[in-house]
């Protein structure tokens, strides 16, 4: 549970009831997102995504390296399907003390007790009012917040994203031979101010969207040909949704820690093109949420995903046209979603 | 002596005419700066004022802080300084007779007044030898803060003025804590505890009736006008913008920038964007210069 | 530094939570050192707790305990966190330089600036600021940290084998290298300071 005084909590919740958040955004609005491509020389592809402003934001850097596996050889100009096994490792580099308040061990224990108590009350309340349409998502754990062990956070994030990318990615391209690859995707979180999972997810997608792997390296005289890899628009995007009860059954995205503390329940919605997966988010409030809220979240997340992907697509196409196939340089742009 | 920038380890005076003040130390080669800052001479003291540092604290400063711990008979407050500040049980006004001696019951009920996580405003009473501060709130101006937004900026940016409690013209009142924590709240704040306040006349902290932390979702909130909320959001974004662009913060300048952002027809959310914010501030500085030149 | 990119963050001075009495008079320094898995040429699954990280952390603590004026910060602690984003030689030197700059910009009192650089010895040739490949083939590498504006050496560490007579010339070369870095750091700090104060 994030530390927040009841005084601030009153204000935030009052704001929710009127549809105005602390910084003036709507419930479904993201902070400005800026993305930098290809900043790391040692990697095949990399991206640095920042949600929020320079002073208050969440920043994630992803680097992708690859290891060549089996080789398929064929005649010239065969259409190949090469597979790519992603292996994702997520590292959360927290600077303790920044964006978190100091608490002594004793107080922390007290906070945990309060949280269990609150959850018990909340579930009782819900149980009494509902008509069986409630859905409890996952298990209710002790929860993670900015005070908890960095390692636990890292484990959770690694496992979460590895599961998403566990299916092999396929790519097809022309050539005389092709390799199977094992992609090693590494992410580090350098700053945290809410929306970590969203940021990491976006960063991985951006890095993969820009990925170009060498496919022709046997003949030393032949120049390196890099090929367009997979269709990155089908990649999964995870968004963290927080449900609040002040404005009916509503969803809020991209929350600051103080808004997180006032929410009832949070869950992560991962959308692919047609599918939705929902997982309980251990970061933030633990609680229960109704089926209607979840459906609403799915609907909203699908919209947000479309907007994000199309915005990214525009920028990437524009930049590709500019560069004309040369090795790219660092560039950045800003998306403001509505 | 004009202000020059001094780097740590840089010799700022070799003549030996002066005495080393804050931010410097005496070595065999002369007076050497220990921090990055501006060197200045006052009487015979050569000192370096840091450009950017956490809050140092002086007697009489108004600060806004968050309660972190309760130990023995004092509350430990985080004021963004190198050590926690302390506010003793005897430094606040208790309900009833002001001159009442604090007893053991009061000590046990400390959590009823201020809990971990609460925000308060107070004044620095004393600075201890190790740099920690002793606060007091023996004035009705200070107390527990409810219903508003806390904005954190760099303490070096807050300008020392006479007024730290400021009410803006658009319905928002604020406390500019010299430690870099700024509290914003709507000035039309209808006191939820109106009745209680009358009962506990003279007290700076009204005791809580229930264990609020587990119940905070059940606390009633008074909905303010949507306009006031948007104004507060705009103000919050402006303060953060001034922080990232390193603009000195004082209530008057903040109000001017607020009105300027309205003139430039910027939405509240636009102020979150770095590029737009940077442009706004550059225009604002030019505007102020031209105004100052014409008057 | 060239292909090496290191990011240093300083938090503090803050209240120290340890109840031990040793730091009643002085502050303490804690460090964290982390190499991103994608930083080295061969991806390495690095963690915060492996030998290399621990060594560098100890190195930093050792250096900064002598440079930072901890008597002015009783019962406080300073946390220095280093993240290596790209690594191509002279890693420890880059780390030290980054940490020094971070401490200065945080306003923490220090006795002086420290600039660090590495020199390598390959086949009787002394190379300043070696890349990863050069370090790999070198018979010995020397890391030095120089105190600015003086001839004092704050830190010296060598790996590999360095013959006696070459050591002096390597030190001289390192000294020159550090002076170049000092110039660079001072210019950068000057620009930074002007951007902060010039606005007022």
ipTM rounded to 2 decimals = 0.79
Confidence band (pLDDT; 50, 70, 90) for B202?
very low
**pLDDT score, position A109:** 39
Say which residue, C196 or A113, is predicted with more confidence: C196
CB A206 within 8 A of CB A114: no
Same domain, B117 and B252: no
Q: Encode pLDDT of B124-182 as tens digits.
A: 988 988 888 898 887 777 888 888 888 988 888 888 888 888 888 888 889 999 988 99
Chain B, nearest residue to A116 by Cα: B214
Lowest mean pLDDT among A7-16, A76-85, A240-249, C35-44: A76-85
Range of the domain at B159: 147-189+224-295
A169-191 sheet: strands from edge to edge: A169-191, A57-92, A45-52, A33-37, A332-335
Asked if pLDDT for residue C120 goes beyond 70, the answer is: yes
Same domain, B127 and B60: yes
**pLDDT score, position A101:** 34
Chain A, nearest residue to B243 by Cα: A55
Closest C-alpha to A181, from A234, A227, A144, A250: A227
- Residue from C3, C36, C42 to probe the interface with A (highest A Cβ count within 10 Å): C36
Chain B, nearest residue to C147 by Cα: B9
Q: Encode pLDDT of A284-301 as tens digits.
A: 555 666 777 778 888 888
CB A34 within 8 A of CB A61: no
The number of distinct structural domains making up chain C is 1
Pair of tokens at residue A163:
């599961």
Please indicate if any CB of chain A lies within 8 Å of the CB of C41: yes
**pLDDT score, position B216:** 45
Same domain, B103 and B205: yes
Identify all chain B residues contacting A103, using CB atoms and an 8 Å cutoff: 68, 116
B40 HSE (CA, 13 A, CB side): 8
Asked if pLDDT for residue A139 goes beyond 70, the answer is: no
Asked if pLDDT for residue B1 goes beyond 60, the answer is: no
Average pLDDT taken over every residue of chain A: 66
Asked if pLDDT for residue B11 goes beyond 50, the answer is: yes
Please indicate if any CB of chain B lies within 8 Å of the CB of C188: no
- Using CB atoms, which residue from A40, A43, A97 is nearest to C79? A97
Q: Which chains have at least 3 CB atom pairs separated by less than 8 Å from chain A?
A: B, C
Identify all chain C residues contacting B34, using CB atoms and an 8 Å cutoff: 69, 109-111
Confidence band (pLDDT; 50, 70, 90) for A119?
very low
Identify all chain B residues contacting A263, using CB atoms and an 8 Å cutoff: none
Same domain, B109 and B207: yes
Q: Kindly compute the dihedral angle of the four CA atoms of residues B112, B118, B119, B125, in this order, to the nearest 10 degrees.
A: 50
Same domain, B217 and B96: yes
CA distances to A8, A142, A247, B153, B225 from B146, in Å: 6, 29, 21, 20, 17
Same domain, B60 and B96: yes
**pLDDT score, position A103:** 35
Range of the domain at C126: 5-197
Asked if pLDDT for residue A137 goes beyond 50, the answer is: no
Please indicate if any CB of chain B lies within 8 Å of the CB of C11: no
Residue B105's contacts (CB-CB under 8 Å, 6 or more residues apart) are: none
Specify the pTM.
Answer: 0.81
Identify all chain B residues contacting A52, using CB atoms and an 8 Å cutoff: 272
Confidence band (pLDDT; 50, 70, 90) for C159?
confident
Average pLDDT taken over every residue of chain B: 78
Average pLDDT rounded to a whole number, residues A41-70: 79
Beta strands B85-92 and B62-71 are: unpaired
CATH number at residue C41: 3.30.230.70
Closest C-alpha to A305, from A282, A329, A271: A271
Confidence band (pLDDT; 50, 70, 90) for B211?
very low
CB C156 within 8 A of CB C116: no
Closest C-alpha to A295, from A240, A249, A234: A249
Q: Encode pLDDT of B216-263 as tens digits.
A: 444 555 666 778 888 888 889 889 888 888 888 888 888 888 888 888
CB B193 within 8 A of CB B266: no
CB contact (8 A) between residue B219 and residue A9:
yes
Chain A, nearest residue to C34 by Cα: A93
Closest C-alpha to B53, from B240, B161, B181, B180: B180
Identify all chain C residues contacting A93, using CB atoms and an 8 Å cutoff: 34, 81, 83
Query: Per the omega criterion (within 30 degrees of 0), is the bond before C122 cis?
Result: no
Identify all chain A residues contacting B120, using CB atoms and an 8 Å cutoff: none
Tell which of B222, B243, B272 closes a domain. Answer: B222
Helices A196-209 and A150-164 sit at what angle, rounded to 10 degrees?
A: 50
Same domain, B58 and B26: no
Same domain, B273 and B247: yes
CATH number at residue B46: 2.40.50.100
Give per-residue burial for C130-146: e unless 16+ CB within 10 Å, then b.
Answer: bbbebbeebebbbbbbb
- Phi and psi at A147, nearest 5°, equal -95, -15
**pLDDT score, position A192:** 77
Same domain, B91 and B152: no
- Residue from B114, B190, B272 to probe the interface with A (highest A Cβ count within 10 Å): B272
The number of distinct structural domains making up chain B is 3
CATH number at residue B203: 2.40.50.140
Identify all chain B residues contacting A3, using CB atoms and an 8 Å cutoff: 66, 116-117
CB contact (8 A) between residue B233 and residue A54:
no
Pair of tokens at residue C86:
């790209």
Same domain, B131 and B212: yes
Lowest mean pLDDT among B125-139, C44-58, C102-116, C158-172: C44-58
Same domain, B72 and B201: yes
Beta strands in chain B (DSSP E): 4-6, 11-13, 19-20, 24-27, 30-33, 37-42, 45-50, 62-71, 74-78, 85-92, 119-127, 133-137, 143-144, 149-152, 165-167, 172-176, 181-186
CB < 8 Å from C in window 142-201 of A: 184, 186, 188, 190
**Residue-by-residue DSSP string for A149-194:** -HHHHHHHHHHHHHHHT-SPEEEEEEEEEEEEEEEEEEEEEEE-SS
H helix runs in chain B, sequence order: 104-108, 110-113, 194-199, 212-215, 226-244, 251-263, 274-294
Asked if pLDDT for residue B201 goes beyond 50, the answer is: no
C140-147 sheet: strands from edge to edge: C125-128, C114-122, C140-147, C153-160
- Using CB atoms, which residue from A7, A22, A34 is nearest to B119? A7
CB contact (8 A) between residue B83 and residue C12:
no
Q: How far is CA A142 from the centre of its chain?
A: 22
Average pLDDT rounded to a whole number, residues C6-32: 71
Identify all chain B residues contacting C106, using CB atoms and an 8 Å cutoff: 52-53
CB contact (8 A) between residue A61 and residue C36:
yes
**pLDDT score, position A73:** 62
Same domain, B134 and B264: no
């Amino acid at each position: 549970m994030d530390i927040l005084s009841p005084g601030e909590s009153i204000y935030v919740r009052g704001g929710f009831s009127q549809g105005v958040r602390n910084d003036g955004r709507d419930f479904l609005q993201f902070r400005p997102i800026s993305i930098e491509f290809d900043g790391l020389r040692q990697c095949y592809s990399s991206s640095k995504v920042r949600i929020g402003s320079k002073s208050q934001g969440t920043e994630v850097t992803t680097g992708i390296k690859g290891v060549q596996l089996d080789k398929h050889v064929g005649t010239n100009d065969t259409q190949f399907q090469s597979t790519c096994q992603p292996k994702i490792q997520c590292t959360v580099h927290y600077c303790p003390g920044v964006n978190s308040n100091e608490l002594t061990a004793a107080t922390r224990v007290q906070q945990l007790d309060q949280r269990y108590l609150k959850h018990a009350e909340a579930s009782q309340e819900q149980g009494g009012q509902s008509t069986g349409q409630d859905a409890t998502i996952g298990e209710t754990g002790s929860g993670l917040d900015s005070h908890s062990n960095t390692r636990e956070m890292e484990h959770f994030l690694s496992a979460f994203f590895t599961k998403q990318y566990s299916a092999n990615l396929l790519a097809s391209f022309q050539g005389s031979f092709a390799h199977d690859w094992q992609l090693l995707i590494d992410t580090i979180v350098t700053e945290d101010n809410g929306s970590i999972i969203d940021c990491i997810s976006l960063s991985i997608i951006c890095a993969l969207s820009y990925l170009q792997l060498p496919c022709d390296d046997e003949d030393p005289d032949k120049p390196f040909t890099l090929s367009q890899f997979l269709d990155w628009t089908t990649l999964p995007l995870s968004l963290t949704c927080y449900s609040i009860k002040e404005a009916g059954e509503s969803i809020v995205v991209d929350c600051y820690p103080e808004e997180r503390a006032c929410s009832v329940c949070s869950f992560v919605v991962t959308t692919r093109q047609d599918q939705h997966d929902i997982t309980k988010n251990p970061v933030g409030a633990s609680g229960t949420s109704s089926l209607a809220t979840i459906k609403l979240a799915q609907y909203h997340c699908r919209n947000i995903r479309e907007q994000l992907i199309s915005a990214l697509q525009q920028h990437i196409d524009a930049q590709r046209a500019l560069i004309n196939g040369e090795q790219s340089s660092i560039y950045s742009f800003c998306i403001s979603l509505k | 002596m004009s202000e020059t920038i001094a780097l740590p380890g840089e010799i700022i005076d070799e003549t030996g005419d002066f005495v080393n003040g804050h931010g410097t130390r005496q070595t065999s080669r002369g007076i050497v700066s220990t921090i990055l800052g501006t060197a200045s001479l006052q009487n015979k003291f050569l000192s370096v004022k840091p450009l950017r540092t956490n809050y140092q604290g002086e007697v009489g400063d108004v600060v806004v802080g968050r309660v972190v711990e309760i130990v023995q008979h004092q509350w430990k407050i985080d004021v963004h300084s190198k050590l926690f500040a302390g506010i003793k049980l005897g430094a606040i006004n208790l309900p009833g007779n002001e001159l009442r001696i604090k007893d053991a019951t009061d000590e046990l009920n400390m959590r009823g007044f201020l809990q971990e996580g609460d925000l308060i405003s107070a004044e620095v009473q004393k600075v201890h030898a190790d740099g920690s501060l002793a606060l007091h709130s023996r004035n009705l101006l200070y107390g527990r803060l409810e219903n508003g937004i806390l904005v954190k900026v760099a303490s070096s940016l807050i300008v020392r003025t006479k007024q730290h409690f400021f009410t803006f013209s658009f319905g928002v009142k604020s406390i500019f804590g010299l430690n870099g924590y700024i509290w914003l709240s709507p000035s039309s704040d209808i006191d939820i505890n109106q009745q209680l306040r009358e009962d506990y006349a003279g007290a700076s902290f009204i005791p809580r009736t229930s264990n609020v932390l587990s119940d905070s979702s059940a606390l009633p909130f008074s909905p303010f006008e949507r306009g006031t909320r948007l104004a507060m959001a705009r103000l919050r974004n402006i303060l953060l913008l001034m922080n990232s662009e390193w603009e000195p913060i004082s209530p008057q300048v903040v109000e001017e920038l607020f009105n300027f952002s309205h003139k430039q027809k910027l939405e509240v959310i636009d102020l979150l964007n770095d590029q737009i914010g940077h442009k706004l501030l550059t225009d604002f500085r030019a505007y102020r210069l031209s105004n100052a030149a014409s008057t | 530094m060239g292909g090496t990119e290191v990011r240093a963050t300083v938090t503090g001075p803050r209240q120290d939570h340890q109840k031990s009495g040793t730091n009643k008079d002085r502050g303490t320094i804690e460090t964290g050192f982390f190499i991103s898995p994608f930083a080295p040429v061969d991806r390495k699954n690095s963690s915060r707790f492996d030998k290399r990280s621990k060594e560098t952390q100890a190195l930093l603590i050792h250096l900064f305990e002598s440079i930072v004026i901890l008597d002015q910060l009783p019962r406080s602690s300073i946390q220095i966190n280093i993240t290596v984003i790209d690594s191509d030689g002279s890693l420890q030197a880059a780390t030290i330089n980054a940490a020094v700059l971070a401490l200065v910009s945080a306003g923490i009192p220090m006795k002086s600036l420290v600039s660090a650089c590495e020199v390598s010895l390959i086949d009787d040739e002394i190379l300043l600021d070696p890349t990863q490949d050069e370090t790999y083939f070198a018979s010995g590498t020397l890391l030095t940290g120089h105190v600015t504006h003086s001839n004092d050496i704050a830190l010296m560490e060598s790996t590999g084998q360095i013959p006696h007579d070459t050591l002096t010339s390597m030190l001289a070369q390192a000294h020159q290298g550090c002076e170049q870095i000092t110039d660079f750091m001072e210019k950068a700090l000057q620009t930074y300071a002007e951007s902060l104060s010039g606005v007022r």
